[in-house]
Every structure is written in structure tokens, then in C-alpha cells.
Amino acid sequence: MSNTDKMSKENFANEFMSEEGLKGKPVLNKIMEIIDIVGFDKNKIKQKYLQFKEKEDFANAVMVEVGLKGKANRIKVMRIIDMVGYDKRKIKTALLRSTITERIHHE
């Protein structure tokens, strides 16, 4: 990707963020990542960002219930949501399975 393409993508992302009232470098990076996926269509970008935001909010709610904190745990929960869907029971089960510290040995 040339430097001018990157600048035009960043300018487009900044314009989109100002129209939507969004701020921050992490949001800018996410918007630029979405632009790579869907192109320069503002409606598709908005739809994809809202899906991401909904998943992130749901992950935060699950984390509060389970008692987890931190970005790494949020990313882990979001990956689990991608695998099992938005069923909290399945998410909690998958999260417990992923955090078993030692293998179970049967005698």
C-alpha cells in the first residue's frame, strides 16, 4: 500500500469519526481495519463498527458477571463469542475450559 493510499484511508476514517462523534486512536485503528475489509462505503463501515461495538459491550457484561478484568480477557471473550455465539452459558463454559491450569489425570 502506498503512502498516499494510507493517508487517504486515514483522512476518510477521521472524517467518518467526526461525523459519528467518535474519538481516540484505538477507534481510528478499528475504523481503518474495517475500511480494509468493506471499502469506503460509510453505511457498511457504520454497520460493521456497530456490530463490533455490540460484541465488545456484550463481552464486557459477561466479564463483569464472571469477575474478569483487562483487555486480554476481553479479547479472549470476544473470540469465544465468535465461536459459540451470544449464549452466556456457553461463553462461561468455554471460558472455564480455556482457563484450566492443569490437565485432569484419571487414575
State pLDDT tens for residues 13-67. 999 999 999 999 999 999 999 999 999 999 999 999 999 999 999 999 999 998 9
d(CA 24, CA 4): 22
13 plus 31 within the same structural domain: yes
Domain-located, residue 45 = no
33 plus 55 within the same structural domain: no
Domain count, the chain: 2
Domain-located, residue 27 = yes
33 plus 63 within the same structural domain: no
What single string gives the DSSP state of each residue in 19-56?
HHT--SHHHHHHHHHHHHHH-S-HHHHHHHHHHHHHHH
Categorize the per-residue pLDDT at 3 as very low, low, confident or very high, splitting at 50, 70 and 90.
low
Predicted confidence at residue 2, as pLDDT, reads: 63
d(CA 44, CA 56): 18
59 plus 23 within the same structural domain: no
Contacts 24+ apart (CB under 8 A), 27-35: 35/9
57 plus 106 within the same structural domain: yes
Contact 27, 17 (CB under 8 A): yes
Cell numbers for 21, please give them.
462523534
27 plus 59 within the same structural domain: no
| Domain assignment of residue 7, given as a range | 1-40
35 plus 54 within the same structural domain: no
